[in-house]
């Protein structure tokens, strides 16, 4: 069955357009990437171009509206909401990356040690990463969602007054970031663990003979070896935190009082609830530009260090 | 002397295991509490702070099965995840093979743009495509969702495939070409059949991504009949904010396929994540 299909496709490929042998050879890579290119053109290039177009018009979801050129961007810069969302995006991404990296690194170092049940621990610690966001949020909401939630019951045993973890601005920022770290650290953990396991053990042995203590081995052997993978993980996690919608939307929808509203949630609200396509698209375009600048900066930082 | 050292070594690591066990329980506490709640009655959930249910009962599961659209949405999730995965492993295999084996200006442009697409904000995709699919009357259809899942997952899947194909020696294909096999034939008959683990890893990631995805589904599937589980659960969370029994039962059911998939294939998965993260 598989062979039949394979040879059918094979024959098609060989008999496809292209004429002479040389020419066919030159076009061959194009055939391989063509399906992907079509999909990317439709799902990324087209939305990017029409997003640019929407962002200079005052349309709604129903009608395209007329050209207002840079008015949307101008309004954006004067909106306190926008600056607030930008500030939260940066805070959320910064603490999300730092938090998940530190937790992931700590657990990777622990898991690198030989111990009974290591395989089980490694798998069990990946659970927060593989669960659907909605399922995790149902669990977390039960834990911290209300005045008589589980967390507040536990705090009550120590005589601490109930805390509205999602209902007061500062606590909401804290909770949303903490849950993002919870959902993200497993990725850091397995990436770093894989890199730690490739480090040559002889390096540690010779350092030990030279009288290096544990901290020195970690600082001068482990950390430099982890640098490349760390930078890749930071870049990816920065992108993922900056683009996060699920965690925030499902927990607080950006509230209370817009305290946990990032640029993505703001763009979503303007587009789908306030029906202001122009502003929504302008926010989305600004987010893309900011992310690209950030990624280029992080990459350059890495190259300079090398 | 030697045996003494070994003994302390073993003892020490049991301490470490105990520490890890505590960490694992703390990390998974929200999930464990949720599962426990699904076996309690609503009165017990609200009044008792005990971890285990007094008596295990399946009332919530019966309620979810009979009174909500849960199983319809379960089926929708399967449809979307199955087709998303199926097309993803085919399209990405060709893309991954191309960036692994061919060189040239177009190819480097292609592989670089796959990397850049990682940072493309989904919201920028959703706004114009929502407008487009609405004019085409394709809201509440699974087609847009499948196409988007396939494409959004493409950069990651393509780079993962590239990692696998890079590790397969070129000699194998070259031998096949000598025997009169075309380049495409060599790929399909020689490279793909021995890339089982690679295909499995891409398939797992693609399935989990599609099964778990919320944002795209939330924009394109607005009718309860067509919703996937994440969107359905979210509706449930808003509508029945006090029915913790039903909500936790539905959430527990939603995570079972994920956990089964994950437990069987976590080795591939870890490999895939690492390959993907190192390369892309």
User: Does a structural domain hold residue A37?
Assistant: no
Check whether A15 has a pLDDT greater than 50.
no
Are A91 and A241 within 8 A, CB to CB? Answer: no
Report residue A306 as tokens. 């090398």
**What mean pLDDT do residues A274-295 have?**
91
CA distances from A20 to A24, A27, B84 (A): 6, 11, 37
Say which DSSP state B225 is in: T
Contact of A35 with chain B, judged by CB distance below 8 Å, is answered with yes
Contact of B147 with chain A, judged by CB distance below 8 Å, is answered with yes
User: Does a structural domain hold residue A250?
Assistant: yes
Helix (H, G, I), strand (E, B) or coil at A86: helix
**Tens digits of residue pLDDT in A203-242:** 998 998 998 888 998 999 999 889 888 888 888 899 999 9
Q: Which domain holds residue A267?
A: 73-129+175-305
Are A14 and B182 within 8 A, CB to CB? Answer: yes
Report residue B35 as tokens. 């599962």
- Which residues does chain B have within 8 Å of residue A50's beta carbon, measured at their own beta carbons? 128, 131
Closest CA to A85 of A268, A298, A236: A268
User: Does a structural domain hold residue A20?
Assistant: no
Q: Is the pTM of this model over 0.80?
A: yes
Q: Would the CB atoms of A142 and B120 count as touching at under 8 Å?
A: no
Residues B97, B102, B104: CA angle, nearest 5 degrees: 140
CA distance linking residue A52 with residue A59, whole number of Å: 12
Check whether A245 has a pLDDT greater than 80.
yes
Contact of B65 with chain A, judged by CB distance below 8 Å, is answered with no
Contact of B188 with chain A, judged by CB distance below 8 Å, is answered with yes
Contact of B131 with chain A, judged by CB distance below 8 Å, is answered with yes
Report residue B199 as tokens. 């295909």
Closest CA to A43 of B222, B84, B98, B137: B84
Q: Would the CB atoms of B122 and A194 count as touching at under 8 Å?
A: no
- Specify the number of domains making up chain A: 1
User: Does a structural domain hold residue A276?
Assistant: yes
Say which DSSP state A162 is in: P
User: Does a structural domain hold residue A164?
Assistant: no
- Which residues does chain A have within 8 Å of residue B119's beta carbon, measured at their own beta carbons? 239, 243, 288, 291-292, 295
User: Does a structural domain hold residue A111?
Assistant: yes
Q: Would the CB atoms of B251 and A138 count as touching at under 8 Å?
A: yes
**Tens digits of residue pLDDT in B183-202:** 888 888 888 888 888 888 88
Report residue B110 as tokens. 């292609």
Q: Would the CB atoms of B91 and A153 count as touching at under 8 Å?
A: no
Q: Would the CB atoms of A250 and B27 count as touching at under 8 Å?
A: no
Q: Name the residue with higher pLDDT: A96 or A28.
A: A96
Per-residue confidence (pLDDT) for residue B274, from 0 to 100 = 57
The alpha helices in chain B, defined as continuous H runs, are 2-27, 29-38, 42-47, 59-67, 70-101, 105-117, 122-135, 142-166, 170-178, 183-186, 196-212, 215-220, 229-239, 244-279
Residue at token pair 């703001």: A266
Are A115 and B20 within 8 A, CB to CB? Answer: yes
Question: With a cut of 0.95, is the ipTM above it?
Answer: no
Q: For the domain that residue A81 is a member of, what is the CATH number?
A: 1.10.3720.10
Closest CA to B240 of B64, B66, B73, B29: B64
Residues of chain B with pLDDT under 50: 1-3, 5-6, 278-280
Say which DSSP state B39 is in: T
Q: Taking CA atoms, what residue in B is nearest to A249?
A: B215
Per-residue confidence (pLDDT) for residue A2, from 0 to 100 = 41
**Residue of A113, A132, A288 with shortest CB distance to B255:** A132
- Which residues does chain B have within 8 Å of residue A127's beta carbon, measured at their own beta carbons? 27-28, 31, 259, 262
Check whether A131 has a pLDDT greater than 60.
yes
Q: Would the CB atoms of A121 and B30 count as touching at under 8 Å?
A: no
Contact of A114 with chain B, judged by CB distance below 8 Å, is answered with yes
Q: Name the residue with higher pLDDT: A135 or B196.
A: A135
- Which residues does chain B have within 8 Å of residue A190's beta carbon, measured at their own beta carbons? 270, 273-274
Are A281 and A54 within 8 A, CB to CB? Answer: yes
**Torsion angle in degrees (nearest 10) through CA of B250, A185, A171, B45:** 30
Contacts of A59 (CB under 8 A, 6+ apart): A65, A277, A278
Closest CA to B210 of B79, B24, B38, B51: B79
Q: Taking CA atoms, what residue in B is nearest to A50?
A: B128
Residue at token pair 């939307």: A249
Per-residue confidence (pLDDT) for residue B172, from 0 to 100 = 83
User: Does a structural domain hold residue A28?
Assistant: no
Neighbour count for residue A273 (Cβ, 10 Å) = 10
Q: Would the CB atoms of A138 and B237 count as touching at under 8 Å?
A: yes
CA distance linking residue A50 with residue A46, whole number of Å: 6
What is the phi-psi region of residue B239: left when phi exceeds 0, alpha when psi lies from -120 to 50, beta otherwise? alpha
Q: Would the CB atoms of A133 and B183 count as touching at under 8 Å?
A: no
User: Does a structural domain hold residue A161?
Assistant: no
């Amino acid at each position: 069955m598989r062979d039949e299909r394979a040879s059918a496709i094979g024959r098609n490929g060989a008999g496809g357009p292209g004429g002479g042998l040389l020419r066919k050879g030159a076009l061959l890579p194009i055939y391989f990437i063509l399906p992907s290119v079509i999909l990317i053109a439709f799902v990324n290039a087209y939305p990017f171009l029409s997003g640019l177009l929407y962002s200079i018009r005052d349309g709604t979801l129903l009608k395209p509206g007329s050209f207002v050129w840079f008015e949307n961007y101008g309004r954006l810069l004067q909106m306190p909401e926008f600056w607030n969302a930008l500030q939260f995006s940066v805070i959320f991404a910064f603490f999300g990356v730092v938090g998940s990296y530190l937790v992931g690194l700590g657990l990777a170092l622990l898991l690198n040690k030989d111990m009974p049940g290591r395989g089980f621990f490694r798998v069990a610690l990946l659970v927060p990463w593989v669960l659907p966001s909605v399922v995790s949020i149902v669990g977390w909401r039960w834990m911290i969602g209300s005045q008589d939630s589980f967390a507040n019951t536990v705090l009550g045993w120590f005589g601490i007054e109930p805390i509205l973890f999602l209902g007061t601005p500062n606590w909401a920022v804290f909770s949303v970031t903490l849950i993002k770290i919870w959902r993200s650290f497993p990725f850091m953990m397995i990436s770093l663990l894989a890199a730690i396991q490739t480090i040559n053990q002889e390096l540690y042995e010779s350092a030990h003979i030279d009288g290096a203590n544990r901290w020195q081995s970690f600082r001068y052997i482990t950390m430099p070896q982890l640098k490349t993978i760390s930078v890749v993980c930071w870049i990816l996690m920065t992108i993922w935190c900056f683009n996060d919608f699920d965690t925030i939307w499902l927990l607080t929808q950006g509230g209370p009082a817009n305290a946990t509203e990032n640029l993505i949630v703001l763009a979503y609200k303007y587009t789908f609830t306030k029906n202001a396509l122009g502003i929504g698209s302008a926010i989305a375009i600004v987010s893309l530009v900011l992310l690209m600048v950030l990624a280029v900066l992080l990459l350059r930082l890495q190259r300079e260090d090398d | 002397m030697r045996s003494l050292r070994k003994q302390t070594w073993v003892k020490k690591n049991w301490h470490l295991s105990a520490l890890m066990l505590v960490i694992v329980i703390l990390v998974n506490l929200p999930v464990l509490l949720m599962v426990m709640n699904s076996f309690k009655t609503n009165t017990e959930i609200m009044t008792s702070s005990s971890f285990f249910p007094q008596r295990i009962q399946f009332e919530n599961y019966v309620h979810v099965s009979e009174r909500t659209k849960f199983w319809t949405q379960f089926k929708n999730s399967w449809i979307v995840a199955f087709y998303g995965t199926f097309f993803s492993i085919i399209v990405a295999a060709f893309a991954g093979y191309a960036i692994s084996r061919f060189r040239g200006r177009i190819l480097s442009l292609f592989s670089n743009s796959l990397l850049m697409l990682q940072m493309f904000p989904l919201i920028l995709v959703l706004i114009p495509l929502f407008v487009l699919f609405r004019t085409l009357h394709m809201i509440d259809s699974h087609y847009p969702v499948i196409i988007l899942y396939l494409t959004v997952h493409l950069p990651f899947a393509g780079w993962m495939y590239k990692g696998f194909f890079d590790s397969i020696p070129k000699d194998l294909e070259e031998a096949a070409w000598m025997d009169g096999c075309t380049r495409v034939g060599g790929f399909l008959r020689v490279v793909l059949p021995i890339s089982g683990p690679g295909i499995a890893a891409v398939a797992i990631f693609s399935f989990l991504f599609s099964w778990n995805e919320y944002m795209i589904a939330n924009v394109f599937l607005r009718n309860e009949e067509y919703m996937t589980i994440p969107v359905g659960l979210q509706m449930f969370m808003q509508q029945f904010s006090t029915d913790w029994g039903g909500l936790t039962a539905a959430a527990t059911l939603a995570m079972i396929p994920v956990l089964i998939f994950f437990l069987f294939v976590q080795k591939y998965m870890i490999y895939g994540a690492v390959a993907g993260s190192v390369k892309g």
